[in-house]
Structure 1
């Protein structure tokens, strides 16, 4: 039996991972950018696409970033699109970056 997928910050790899037990279903790579994290790439294992895991991963990552009191620079098109569709996360993007990603 597989466990419910969980979002984990793998700081050593500089990425948030969506994990089910020991299996990585997908990840969102980031790098520090001052007081923010710049998200550069998000990927879901092709065997798990179409199940809403990308949104679950990004939501969990953004919630964790918020809990840390940090901001987000969404250079990854998927993360930027997620934030455009879920306006409750726009405040995480520094005002000077919002126009760059269409917010």
Structure 2
């Protein structure tokens, strides 16, 4: 994660069902669905003004930390999150082993 994002708080926006960070007045976010044991990450997006800044990677990493601390398992349906975990394979530890593409990570 780039240094400029380290001190930005992750917000779990339950009304919009997304995890988000705000940087310079713009948002990067991940849509989610949640059960008592799992959090499914559906779609990652950042506003065009944040393109190339690392904001999407930062919101993913902060969200993964949140999920790990919650004790829930991850379902990485979002292709960006899936690719992030594949590249940073230590995060596979929080993926639910029943996830259909677990063995592709």
The Cα offsets for residues 38-90 of structure 1, whole Å up to 9 and x where unpaired, read as 11101010111101111100000010011110111011100100111111210
Q: How much does 1:100 deviate? A: 5.1
Q: Give runs of ≥4 in structure 1 deviating > 6 Å.
A: none
- Alpha-carbon distance between aligned partners in 2 of 1:34 and 1:74, rounded to the nearest angstrom: 16
Normalising by structure 1, we get a TM-score of: 0.85
RMSD of aligned Cα (Å): 2.1
Unpaired runs of at least 5, structure 1? none
- Alpha-carbon distance between aligned partners in 2 of 1:101 and 1:87, rounded to the nearest angstrom: 12
Give the structure with the larger strand fraction. 1
Partner residue of 2:41 out of 39, 42, 55: 39
Normalising by structure 2, we get a TM-score of: 0.83
Secondary structure of the 1:97 match is: coil
Unpaired runs of at least 5, structure 2? none
